[in-house]
Structure 1
Amino acid sequence: MGVKGLQQFVEQFIPEACVPVSLREMAQQHVSQRQHGSTSTAKSGPTLVVDGMACLRHWYSCEDWVCGGQWKEYISLLVRWVDAFTITGIRLVFFFDGVVDEQKRPEWVRRRRRVNGEISKVFRHIKVHGVQPGRELFCLPSGLATFTRFALRSLGQEVFCSVREADYEIASYAHRHGSMGILGQDSDFIIFTSAPYLSVAKLSLDKLTTVLYNRESICQALGLSVDQLPLLACILGNDIVSEKRMQHVRTNAMAAYRRSLSYPGASKGDKVLSVAQLVRSVWVSEVGNPGLIPQALGLSDPDQKLLEKGVHSYLLPGQPLHGVDIQDVPPGTSCVMERYVSPTILKACREKHIAAESFMVYSVMFEGVVECSNTMEDEEDTELLPQALVYKTCRQRTYRVLLPKDRETGTQVPAVKEWFVFAGNPLKEPEKVFPLSMSENEPSLESLWFGGWPAVSDPRLARFLSIFDCQEFSPLYGTIEEDSLLAALCLVTHLVLQVQQLSLEDVDAYLSQAVCVRYRSHQELQRVKLPYLSSRAVQMASLYVRGLGHLLGANCATGGPLPNDALMPWQSFDGRLFHSKYLLAHCGATQSRLLDDHVSREDGENLFYGSVCPSEREGSGSLQEEGQNCAVQTQISPRRPQI
């Protein structure tokens, strides 16, 4: 999020601080310097620390974004991006946000509301024009940040998930390991005294060139020392000290600054320049006086403490300021649910989270809070339930797996606080959601995570399937050709049971694309033609992808009965392909055509398809009732009118 207006100020008023650089040359110079310094960095090669969250909009350059994501193409773009650096000898280390700091929750909520407004505009555009809007309304496909972590790991990259503010962990890692730079798009990296800050927005992948924001040049232009930058950032406004909170300080600084000018008038850069002048003046008056915040600012006690907290957030371990030194105390050593979970489980949970090998589990155990950002949902369409409500039951069951009752006292575990964005949720406070029991004989978390079980009787698989009401599918394990198909089967079954408005045409679209996507390259998927867009299909696509995230969370909670890779969207979903199948299904296309004719419908695929699409029978009940009692079929079912 960064410092309000600082980067724009630097680009407009201190152009000499925006230095075009070649990353190849930087890497060579970095290695040369380290070799002369006899450090270990020279042996491991130059390292670039990447702010993954800041890169998502640049990585996802696929033409289609509104239909749920072109995931195979996205993977190909990630491969190209990573290869561009690795063939040059640059080692990449990626960081992603792993938690939302509660003191930043108001800003998180504000952004979610703003994006909801943008999504509403997207749906209105689709309904009026039948096509995707321009890039000015671009929204990231649902789940992109989560699945990108796993994608990069599958490409052999080193990926970390933060347990505190990600910017801090990025700066700290880069400083501690002597990295050649930080690649991101956040002006906080100007403030941290760490590795050089490089812009991902200015990156030319073909040439491996970008812009470096020179910290020393910025300080020289502002007449400040590097030590004074954190105070400047906090008075301007950042993630900890809101812009509104320091408005009175900036107003006084602006008045004093303009009185000192020898010419009348105002400039767009006056805000930053006036605060810089203020920082210089109060710092001079406090020479020799220890402390982070000069008393000459004349702040109230609450504002003084808040400003101290903000300045503290920029100090990395081993970087004292005015006698104050920061020690690197690892966070997350205690958790809100530690009474209900063993230390062994907590240790494994934290390690998997940091290594980006897990999803949702850490948030439940350590924070007691789960959040989900905006989803491509039409707030004006009340027919389809929001994904937050569709998957609430499976989340509750996942919480029970992670947080069983106290076996000695039977004490109910605390509720998990959920911050889920959907129409009708004002986000004024989290919803408190309690775990939901599934059976009396629930296996312990230790046995699920650490027990060695034969695959045919693995309680981890049984537990995973029960979260989605799919216990009947246990015999399919190992029978269906790929685990990704079993995962898709579980997901669609859950949707059949939870969404009353789902029709057989909808199920046909989900399942046929899950089968066919495996036979198409990303180039072929790019060429899929859509005569028009359906707003309902757009929402159903995001509903499916969000469901994959819930499958992933349940899989991690139950000890991983399925490989996580089987739950990735590029294994069973493509937005354009799904949209195409949806339009065909609702126009009465045959199942042969939905399965692309040439696709070999092997027994395993027939088994898969028939499991959720029971055959037509006289007197059959609702689709939900059939799903609840679905038996494994061996033939693809005939079509049935929409329910």
Structure 2
Amino acid sequence: MGVKGLQYFMDRCCPEACVTVNLREMARQHIVNNLHGCTSTADTNSCTLVVDGMACLCHWYSCKDWVCGGQWKEYVDVLKSWVEAFTSAGIRLVFFFDGVVEEQKRREWVKRRHRVNRDVSKIFSYVKEHAEQPGKDLFCLPSGLATFTPFALRSLGQEVFCSVREADYEIASYARQHGCMGILGQDSDFIIYDSAPYLSVAKLRINSLTTIIYDRQRLCRNIGLTVTQLPLLACLLGNDVVSEEQMQHIKNNAMATYRRNNPAPRSGAPQGQMVLAVAQLVSSFGCREEKQAELVPQSLNVSAPHRELLKKGIGSYLLPGHKDFELVDISSLPSAFEKHVSPEISKACREKHVAAEGFMVYSVVCAGVTECSNSLEDEEDTELLPQAVVYKLCRQRIYGLLLLLGQDGSTVDTPVMREWFVFPGNPLKEPDLVSPFPITLPCDQPSLDLLWFSTGPEVSALRLTAFLSVFDCLEYSELYGTIEDSHLAALCLVTYIVLQVQTLSQEDVDAYLSQAVCLRLKSPQELQQIELPLLSSRAVQLGSLYVRGLSHLLGANTASGCPLSNAALMPWRSFDGRLFHSKYLLAHRGIETNELLDSDLSCLSQFHQLKEKLLETCQKRGRVLQSSPKGPQQSLKPTPGVRYRDTHSGLPLGVGEGWRGRGRGGTAGGHQHGQSWRARGEEGRDRSVYENRNRPWGRGGHRAGGQHFHSFYPDCQDGRPQNTRRPANQSRGPSYPNRGRYQLAPRWSRPPAP
């Protein structure tokens, strides 16, 4: 986000406004200045740096592996070292993270999501072709990083806030109100705000604590403006409120005038010329008179709608305490579903959200909208459902719990949630309208106020019951207190995935559960040393699916009154991408369970206990978990000069009992049948119902053509492994009809791609 072209201009065309600073020296000077200018002990004894957490994520995540789902233990260690570097210099950190997507910026959000989706498609193509992680040019943050990083920082004793409006605005407001030494981020909007100095996280050298400060005063001297004219400059150039397309005619006219007046432009680059041209236009309006109660100069020739848009854009930069702040409409909207919850619940939702202690509840109760950014999902894999679909029922139950759906048996005036979830094939032209779903409890629906605010053993039992009901795992209440909370959470999550995804196999479950129980024995250093002979695109997607599920566990836990500690639901307690990937490869190779569990008796015992409960629960629901070992993707092309080795035997793959028939009968791309998610998306979403509502979506799909699948598994028919112990017509589990507006038909009801 930010002002179009302004960051480029300062970096490339205005070097005098980019000043290298040492943060230690800057902190000392800040304290000296405060000693002379204020009397507050808190202000004089500390200097605070406000950190834009979202801008830092790609710099914080420096772990080797990202495509496998995240190396979370190592990531927390990186955060710890980063925080300690500032603490040792006497700098207090305050972190802000985006908590909402404002509707006026939804279009920009959607554009970014589509752009990332294109990169995700390239990532999976690369993994399937080379069986390894792509280079930095296709780097993508692990799913859920923005969700769990605030909790990681809080666990390190840091002060963390989640915004209730645009995070840039709240960061600038906090820094101005508290007289902070600076804002650390990477967004040119911080040049426009009349707040603390803007420091670059991209140019930060953590060992020396040096970076670049973008000096707005020097910028203004260079382009001939006053600081009060910067908001108008930002809006005419284009930002998240005023798109550059809407102001294109003004910019074109400004550029034409600039070139007439400057036959030898100061900056040869078009981006630099555009900033100078628009700055020249803004300077021609002169400084606004104090008595003029308008944000946009009358001499600016724009239509009435564009004038109102510019007013809104300029107003978005005015902070509390600014002389024009009263011109901005800051009236807060009431809670979206305030009639469904008590005022105390609405207040608690906001407080939990702001303090980064909860997840999902604020957006549901107070905004009536939820969203989820891009995940690592393969648009060509017809076996695995997108995470948005997998966890839809879970979200519906969370909505039902929060809004007390069905408490009085009435269905009148049922609220509807707006969901903006990114997945392949979803054009994101409008939100999906999703109705809450009442959870089934063995007692009367409890009051949300009772769950959140009351105490006592009976209330604690109700909280646990509500939480387990969201995942249809009430049987697991007997395990509470007998196993670690993180293991209970992992069991609930894997069970839910098995019930929703009919193509999940015994090997997949073994990989999920084995890595969950083995993780506690592994140090970050040991996890880094795990060797992966190759990468599986399917394992990549399953890893991302699990981490997204942890965020839903967190939402259910918050909605239920926190029967489990949030710490138990963190990915570094039950997931490591590299460990999971290794367990996945071993499980699908058919390794003995003892070896899968690192020959550790305690892990083996825990694994069997969890798997036994999972199978028992699935059996009660008619879900038969099948064995379906997967070989490496048929599209695999060996990297020249690289000889992949088996992690167990040490032999090259294809030797002895390694992957059978590796590379035989492969197809470039690995998917001859069926269209991609994106190609099918528009057509599918226009259908009002599934072509067969009693069939699980995508069940029976397989990754490649039958002849190529048979080259790996001879005992197959129609591309699927045969289990002679199961009657031919036996159900593989319950169907889940009417899953919402994701209207892709089952694979066998679509004609094959030409």
Range into which the TM-score falls when normalised by the shorter chain: over 0.9
The alpha carbon displacement at 1:143 in A equals: 0.5
Aligned counterpart for 2:493 among listed residues 491, 494, 501: 491
- Secondary structure of the residue that 2:50 maps to in structure 1? strand
Moved more, 41-50 or 453-462: 453-462
- Taking the TM superposition and a 5 Å limit, the aligned residue runs for 1:48-59 are 48-59=49-60
Cα separation, partners in 2 of 1:74 and 1:326, compared to 1, 3 Å: farther
AA of the residue aligned to 1:3: V
* TM-score of the superposed pair, with normalisation by structure 2: 0.80
User: Within 2, Cα distance between the matches of 1:506 and 1:455?
Assistant: 37
Q: Does 1:220 align with 2:221?
A: yes
Question: For the Cα contact (< 8 Å) 1:489–1:612, is it kept in 2?
Answer: yes
Q: Which runs of 5+ in 1 are unaligned?
A: 626-639
Cα separation, partners in 2 of 1:2 and 1:615, compared to 1, 3 Å: closer
Residue 244 of structure 2 corresponds to which residue in structure 1?
Answer: 243
Question: For the Cα contact (< 8 Å) 1:19–1:211, is it kept in 2?
Answer: yes
- Taking the TM superposition and a 5 Å limit, the aligned residue runs for 1:347-366 are 347-366=347-366
User: Within 2, Cα distance between the matches of 1:536 and 1:38?
Assistant: 59
What is the CA deviation profile of residues 219-252 of structure 1, one whole-angstrom value per residue up to 9, with x for unaligned ones? 0001110000000000000000000000000111
Cα separation, partners in 2 of 1:624 and 1:166, compared to 1, 3 Å: farther
AA of the residue aligned to 2:395: R
Moved more, 72-81 or 416-425: 416-425
User: Within 2, Cα distance between the matches of 1:100 and 1:258?
Assistant: 38
Cα separation, partners in 2 of 1:26 and 1:380, compared to 1, 3 Å: same
What is the CA deviation profile of residues 460-507 of structure 1, one whole-angstrom value per residue up to 9, with x for unaligned ones? 001100110100000000111x10000000001001111100110000
Aligned counterpart for 1:608 among listed residues 593, 607, 610: 610
User: Within 1, Cα distance between the matches of 2:601 and 2:374?
Assistant: 36
Q: Does 1:478 align with 2:477?
A: no
Q: Does 1:42 align with 2:19?
A: no
Residue 447 of structure 1 corresponds to which residue in structure 2?
Answer: 450
Question: For the Cα contact (< 8 Å) 2:49–2:184, is it kept in 1?
Answer: yes
Residue 295 of structure 1 corresponds to which residue in structure 2?
Answer: 298
- Secondary structure of the residue that 1:413 maps to in structure 2? coil
- Secondary structure of the residue that 2:338 maps to in structure 1? coil
Q: Does 1:253 align with 2:262?
A: no
AA of the residue aligned to 2:543: A
Cα separation, partners in 2 of 1:287 and 1:478, compared to 1, 3 Å: closer
Residue 272 of structure 1 corresponds to which residue in structure 2?
Answer: 275
- Secondary structure of the residue that 1:182 maps to in structure 2? strand
- Taking the TM superposition and a 5 Å limit, the aligned residue runs for 1:212-611 are 212-263=213-264, 267-268=268-269, 269-283=272-286, 289-321=292-324, 325=326, 331=332, 334-405=334-405, 411-439=412-440, 441-454=444-457, 458-480=461-483, 482-601=484-603, 604-611=606-613
Residue 130 of structure 1 corresponds to which residue in structure 2?
Answer: 131
AA of the residue aligned to 1:7: Q
User: Within 2, Cα distance between the matches of 1:621 and 1:150?
Assistant: 35
User: Within 1, Cα distance between the matches of 2:288 and 2:353?
Assistant: 46
Cα separation, partners in 2 of 1:273 and 1:360, compared to 1, 3 Å: same
Residue 86 of structure 1 corresponds to which residue in structure 2?
Answer: 87
Question: For the Cα contact (< 8 Å) 1:51–1:182, is it kept in 2?
Answer: yes
User: Within 1, Cα distance between the matches of 2:146 and 2:557?
Assistant: 18
User: Within 2, Cα distance between the matches of 1:526 and 1:247?
Assistant: 50
What is the CA deviation profile of residues 416-443 of structure 1, one whole-angstrom value per residue up to 9, with x for unaligned ones? 0001111121111111111111237211
- Secondary structure of the residue that 1:458 maps to in structure 2? helix
Cα separation, partners in 2 of 1:250 and 1:125, compared to 1, 3 Å: same
AA of the residue aligned to 1:210: T
Question: For the Cα contact (< 8 Å) 1:317–1:328, is it kept in 2?
Answer: no
Cα separation, partners in 2 of 1:213 and 1:266, compared to 1, 3 Å: closer
AA of the residue aligned to 1:174: A
What is the CA deviation profile of residues 262-287 of structure 1, one whole-angstrom value per residue up to 9, with x for unaligned ones? 54797222100010100010226978
User: Within 1, Cα distance between the matches of 2:608 and 2:96?
Assistant: 42
User: Within 1, Cα distance between the matches of 2:285 and 2:268?
Assistant: 23
AA of the residue aligned to 1:554: A
AA of the residue aligned to 1:357: E
User: Within 1, Cα distance between the matches of 2:287 and 2:156?
Assistant: 52
Cα separation, partners in 2 of 1:448 and 1:284, compared to 1, 3 Å: closer
- Secondary structure of the residue that 1:600 maps to in structure 2? helix
The alpha carbon displacement at 1:458 in A equals: 1.0
Question: For the Cα contact (< 8 Å) 1:552–1:564, is it kept in 2?
Answer: yes
- Secondary structure of the residue that 1:283 maps to in structure 2? coil
Cα separation, partners in 2 of 1:320 and 1:475, compared to 1, 3 Å: same
Residue 33 of structure 1 corresponds to which residue in structure 2?
Answer: 33
Cα separation, partners in 2 of 1:283 and 1:290, compared to 1, 3 Å: farther
Question: For the Cα contact (< 8 Å) 1:46–1:91, is it kept in 2?
Answer: yes
User: Within 2, Cα distance between the matches of 1:602 and 1:509?
Assistant: 13
Question: For the Cα contact (< 8 Å) 2:238–2:247, is it kept in 1?
Answer: yes
Question: For the Cα contact (< 8 Å) 1:525–1:577, is it kept in 2?
Answer: yes
AA of the residue aligned to 1:194: S
Cα separation, partners in 2 of 1:27 and 1:505, compared to 1, 3 Å: same
Question: For the Cα contact (< 8 Å) 2:69–2:143, is it kept in 1?
Answer: yes
AA of the residue aligned to 1:493: T
User: Within 2, Cα distance between the matches of 1:284 and 1:442?
Assistant: 62
Question: For the Cα contact (< 8 Å) 2:473–2:617, is it kept in 1?
Answer: no
- Secondary structure of the residue that 2:511 maps to in structure 1? helix
The alpha carbon displacement at 1:602 in A equals: 7.0
Identical aligned residues as a percent: 63
Cα separation, partners in 2 of 1:25 and 1:331, compared to 1, 3 Å: farther
Residue 623 of structure 1 corresponds to which residue in structure 2?
Answer: 625
The alpha carbon displacement at 1:413 in A equals: 2.6
AA of the residue aligned to 1:416: M
Cα separation, partners in 2 of 1:349 and 1:252, compared to 1, 3 Å: same
Question: For the Cα contact (< 8 Å) 1:496–1:624, is it kept in 2?
Answer: no
Question: For the Cα contact (< 8 Å) 1:119–1:376, is it kept in 2?
Answer: yes
The alpha carbon displacement at 1:317 in A equals: 0.9
Cα separation, partners in 2 of 1:254 and 1:386, compared to 1, 3 Å: same
Question: For the Cα contact (< 8 Å) 1:286–1:294, is it kept in 2?
Answer: no
User: Within 1, Cα distance between the matches of 2:328 and 2:242?
Assistant: 22
AA of the residue aligned to 2:89: T
Let me know the Cα RMSD of the aligned residues: 2.3
User: Within 2, Cα distance between the matches of 1:229 and 1:520?
Assistant: 52
The alpha carbon displacement at 1:261 in A equals: 1.6
Question: For the Cα contact (< 8 Å) 2:144–2:551, is it kept in 1?
Answer: yes
- Secondary structure of the residue that 1:21 maps to in structure 2? strand
User: Within 2, Cα distance between the matches of 1:61 and 1:79?
Assistant: 13
User: Within 2, Cα distance between the matches of 1:231 and 1:283?
Assistant: 12
What is the CA deviation profile of residues 113-132 of structure 1, one whole-angstrom value per residue up to 9, with x for unaligned ones? 11000000000000110100
- Taking the TM superposition and a 5 Å limit, the aligned residue runs for 1:60-71 are 60-71=61-72
User: Within 2, Cα distance between the matches of 1:195 and 1:224?
Assistant: 19
User: Within 2, Cα distance between the matches of 1:614 and 1:144?
Assistant: 33
User: Within 1, Cα distance between the matches of 2:473 and 2:146?
Assistant: 28
AA of the residue aligned to 1:184: G
Cα separation, partners in 2 of 1:66 and 1:446, compared to 1, 3 Å: same
User: Within 1, Cα distance between the matches of 2:287 and 2:583?
Assistant: 69
Q: Which runs of 5+ in 2 are unaligned?
A: 628-720, 724-731, 733-754
